[in-house]
């Protein structure tokens, strides 16, 4: 069985597209009918995220898949990811795939992870809609294109596009209970135990260019920091003139 864990904090507006994409990936013919279980961990949600998950459960069941949800009030993505992984391991998952509630995975996402033949697959992310940043959209698009390596052999670490064998995950001790960088800490632990890595752009994930960053130091917060840096640079230039 393949398990997918998704942490979510008030993701009512994004979960629908995420779950639709996950169902397509779970039904890919190259998985040869292997069951896929999705565990959504709703962390301190006070919106309609739970209702969104509930609406999709019948479609997953009809496809022979499982979509479950668990509610916690940790406000820590590390706790949410770890809980999702524990639930999936208890159900017998041999492979754990991790993404975020504001992403859309490609239909070949799981197939591409498994095809790497590694213990750990670190994937890249892409953004196909920068419009939430309005007037700053073009500047962010250009910065991302100039600085991000969306190719095989990259060294990016994203909880939004990460796969690991159940055996390696447990040997490394799993995710730590932290508010951010739980993915980086897990990768470091996996490196210490000698896990085999694939740094690949083949498992495709599209993430949102959100303006309401959920985790300090995460992808959304990094985008906002880029904008803040550009604004300070422009102010400095103006002051010097």
- CA-closest candidate to residue 93, choices 166, 43, 163: 166
Instruction: Give residue 40's region: left, alpha or beta (phi > 0; psi -120 to 50).
Output: beta
Residue 92 inside a domain? The answer is: yes
Of 79 and 220, the one with more pLDDT? 79
Of 22 and 214, the one with more pLDDT? 22
Domain housing 119: 2-235
How far is 82 from 3, CA to CA, in rounded Å?
12
Residue 224 inside a domain? The answer is: yes
Q: Which pLDDT score is estimated for 227?
A: 54
Residue 148 inside a domain? The answer is: yes
Residue 241 inside a domain? The answer is: no
What's the total number of domains in the chain? Answer: 1
Residue 84 inside a domain? The answer is: yes
Residue 240 inside a domain? The answer is: no
Residue 87 inside a domain? The answer is: yes
Of 36 and 129, the one with more pLDDT? 36
The model carries a pTM of: 0.88
Residue 129 inside a domain? The answer is: yes
Reported as a single tens digit per residue, the pLDDT across 195-213 is 999 999 999 999 998 777 6
Reported as a single tens digit per residue, the pLDDT across 86-143 is 999 999 999 999 999 999 999 999 999 999 999 999 999 999 989 988 888 999 999 9
CATH of the domain at 37: 3.90.550.10
How far is 214 from 185, CA to CA, in rounded Å?
19
């Amino acid at each position: 069985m393949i398990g997918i864990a998704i942490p979510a904090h008030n993701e009512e507006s994004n979960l629908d597209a995420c779950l639709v994409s996950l169902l397509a990936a779970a039904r890919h013919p190259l998985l040869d009918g292997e069951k896929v279980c999705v565990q959504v961990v709703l962390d301190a949600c006070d919106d309609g995220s739970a209702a969104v998950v509930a609406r999709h459960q019948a479609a997953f069941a009809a496809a022979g898949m499982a979509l479950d949800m668990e509610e916690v009030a940790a406000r820590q993505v590390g706790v949410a990811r770890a809980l999702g992984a524990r639930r999936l391991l208890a159900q017998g998952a041999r492979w754990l795939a991790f993404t975020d509630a504001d992403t859309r995975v490609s239909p070949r996402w799981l197939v591409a992870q498994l095809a790497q033949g590694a213990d750990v697959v670190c994937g890249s992310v892409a953004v196909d809609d920068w419009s939430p940043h309005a007037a700053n959209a073009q500047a962010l698009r250009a910065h991302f294109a100039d600085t991000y390596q969306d190719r095989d052999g990259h060294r990016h670490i994203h909880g939004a596009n990460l796969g690991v064998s159940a055996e390696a995950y447990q040997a490394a001790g799993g995710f730590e209970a932290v508010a951010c960088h739980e993915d980086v800490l897990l990768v470091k632990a996996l490196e210490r135990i000698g896990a085999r890595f694939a740094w690949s752009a083949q498992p495709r994930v599209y993430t949102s260019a959100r303006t309401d960053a959920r985790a300090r130091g995460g992808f959304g917060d990094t985008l906002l920091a880029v904008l803040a840096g550009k604004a300070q640079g422009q102010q400095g230039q103006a002051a010097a003139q």
